Amino acid sequence: MQETNEFFVELMMLYVVSIMSLVVLRITISAIPDEFVLCNNSLWNNFIAAFLIELYFVFNAFILWETKSFIFNVFQLFNAHTVARVIELYRGKE
């Protein structure tokens, strides 16, 4: 149970980091003018933008994967507890 609790805390910290990064991105993007260019070459600008967008989506996909893993682990814990309880009840009747 301690490991599950620690995993839950790590997952919640990932969610906090994701929310904070989203807020920072929204503030930063709203402050940047539409004509802003990082490089004079539009190919590099598009490459950098695509890379940063992909990085953001991969991070959020990682969070979703970890959420799925956590839910699966909790489900397995409930199954194990149920089996242990049934065995305990069965042994008590003998």
Quote the pLDDT of residue 82: 92
Answer yes or no: is pLDDT of 24 > 90: yes
Selected residue with higher pLDDT from 2 and 17: 17
Quote the pLDDT of residue 94: 60
Q: What confidence tier does 3 reach under pLDDT thresholds 50, 70, 90?
A: confident
Q: Please, what is the average pLDDT of the chain?
A: 90
Alpha-carbon separation of residue 34 from 27, 31, 66, 71 (angstroms)? 14, 9, 36, 42
DSSP H helical ranges for the chain? 2-31, 42-93
Q: Dihedral through CA 66, CA 69, CA 74, CA 77, nearest 10?
A: -140
Predicted confidence (pLDDT) per residue in 39-90, tens digit: 888 899 899 989 999 999 999 999 999 999 999 989 999 999 999 998 888 8
What is d(CA 52, CA 73) in angstroms, rounded to the nearest whole number? 32
Lowest mean pLDDT among 10-24, 28-42, 53-67: 28-42
Quote the pLDDT of residue 9: 92
C-alpha atoms less than 13 angstroms from C-alpha of 70 in its C-beta half-sphere: 17
